[in-house]
Each structure stands twice: as C-alpha cells, then as structure tokens.
Amino acid sequence: MIWHNGVYFVQCHVLAVKLTKIISLFNQAGGVAKSTTAQNLGYHLSIRRHRVLLIDIDPQGSLTTFMGLEPADLEKTIYDALVSESDEPIPIHRDLDGIDLAPANILLANAEQELIFAELREFRLKEILAPLLDSYDFILIDCPPSLGILSQISLVASTHVLVPIQCQFKALKGTDSLLKTVARVQRKLNRSLKIAGFFPTMYSASNSLDQRTLESIREQLSSLATIFPPPTSCYSSGRSS
C-alpha cells in the first residue's frame, strides 16, 4: 500500500534499479567472443524493443570498433568519466542501429593505474552508471581479458555476470580463478551479483572435439549455473568492415 509521495518515489526508484539488468561479459581468457557476444546480445535485445546500452570497458576497444567507431578518433570515452573528479557524465553515442554505446580506447589502460589511489575505486563504475539506470532495460559491459581492476569494477556494478566460454580444448583452464574472482566480489563488494550462466562460443556441431569440450563444460559447470546452448553462429555483424 502506498500512502506517501516519498515512499512512492522510493518504490519507483528501487523498481527501476531492480529492472535494469546490468550484465558483465566476463572471462579473463582472451579471444573467447566476449565482445562479439556483447554486440550480438545487444542487437537481439534491442530488436525485442529493450533499451540497451553497451559499455566498452576494454582498452583494446574491440566493441567500439565492432560498433563502427574508430577508437583512436574519439575525444571522450568511458575513461574520462571513470577518472573525472567533477562528475563528468559517461559519453554515450546514441542509436548505433538501435543501441547506445559508451566507447573505449587505449587511454583506458591508464585508468588501471589512476584508479589505484582513488577512494572507493571498486564502486566507481557503479557510481557513474547510477544516473543512467532509468534510461535502459539492459546495460551490457564488455570486460577486458583480465582479472584486474577494470573487470572488478564491472562485476561490482553488475546485477549479473555472463561467461562466454570458447569450445576448445583449454576451455576450462582458468575457470577456477574466474570463479574465485566472482566469489570474492560477491562476498565483499556485491552480494547481489548472480552468475547468469556460461555461454559456449565458437562451437561447431560437426567437430567431435567441440562436442567433447561442450560435454566437459556441462559436466563441470552445470552445478554452478545455467549452460546456455551454443549459438549456431556468433559472428560480429561487422559494422566496421
């Protein structure tokens, strides 16, 4: 029952916070299709009329490139908002085929160093995302291939983590450290972080090695979270090419 304007406001705000799903695409292994998955998931969600913001938090700027921007040409990126001491808003490129993007470029590599001494640095991304929550249904964060501070602040800011996992022989190598990192964040910094699931990528149904790898992934990880069916095709739509 709502009997006060203030309560009503708080309820609406909490509802908005709860409704915005913030999903980190996270795996410290390189080249497992994190950026490709972020882009494709973003498009599929936007086709279903969800309001989607992609955040590129990788200094390589792959997602930025996939979305058709040239990282080196950008004057403002997520880096500026992260290190700003004057509440600089996140720079957003709007409506790139129906999706918004906060881009990154190589300057973001400096943030690792610059944030070391920042107060409450683990909450920095969460803090700068807060004003955007009412505007989006989904915020997808494309993490770099590392367990460093940029991945950590992404996990702290997220409601969910989705782990793309490449269907090849060393797919499960490093899963322990990945899960430990997620568990540490859940324990100390973000109790409500959930593992949305593992998403097998680059799977070829006709390849027996891929089939065996997928079986191992299911055997070893299905007790922890959902193993999504691998997509038949997971290529970048290649806006930039």
Ligand X SMILES: Nc1ncnc2c1ncn2[C@@H]1O[C@H](COP(=O)(O)OP(=O)(O)OP(=O)(O)O)[C@@H](O)[C@H]1O
The residues binding ligand X (CB under 6 A) are 30-36, 58, 60, 62, 145, 201-202, 234-236
Residue 150 or 221 with smaller CB distance to ligand X: 150
Q: Which chain residues interact with Mg ion by CB under 5 A?
A: 34-35, 62
Minimum distance between the CB of residue 230 and Mg ion, rounded to whole angstroms?
A: 18
Per DSSP, the three-state class of 78 is: helix
Q: Which residue lies nearer to Mg ion by CB, 81 or 104?
A: 104
Contacts of 122 (CB under 8 A, 6+ apart): 149, 152, 153, 156, 189
Residue 72 CB burial class (10 angstroms; 0-12, 13-18, ≥19): exposed
Measured from the CB atom, the residue of 20 and 167 that comes closer to ligand X is 167
Q: Is residue 133 within 8 Å of 16, Cβ to Cβ? A: yes
Residue 235 binds which entry of ligand X, Mg ion, none, CB below 5-8 Å type-dependent: ligand X
Given Mg ion, ligand X, none, residue 154, with its beta carbon under 5 to 8 Å by kind, binds none
Residue 62 or 175: the one with the smaller Cβ distance to Mg ion is 62
56 makes contact, choosing from ligand X, Mg ion, none, with CB < 5 to 8 Å by partner type, with: none
User: CB 12 → ligand X: shortest distance, Å?
Assistant: 36
In this structure, which long-range contacts are made by residues 146-149, counting pairs with CB atoms below 8 Å and at least 24 apart in sequence? Answer: 146/28, 147/28, 147/177, 147/178, 147/181, 148/112, 149/111, 149/112, 149/115, 149/116, 149/121, 149/122
Residue 89 phi/psi, 5-degree rounding, is: -70, 160
The token pair at 16 is 């908005």
Token look-up 């497992």 returns: 32
Q: Cβ of residue 62: shortest distance to Mg ion, in angstroms?
A: 4
The minimum distance between CB 87 and ligand X, in angstroms, equals 29
Least distance (Å) between residue 29 CB and ligand X: 7
Of 35 and 105, which has the nearer Cβ to Mg ion? 35
Nearest to Mg ion by Cβ — which residue? 35
CB nearer Mg ion, residue 102 or residue 186: 102
9: how many CB neighbours lie within 10 A of its CB?
11
Residues 6 or more apart whose Cβ sits within 8 Å of residue 88 = 80, 81
To the nearest whole angstrom, how small is the minimum distance from the Cβ of residue 111 to ligand X?
Answer: 16
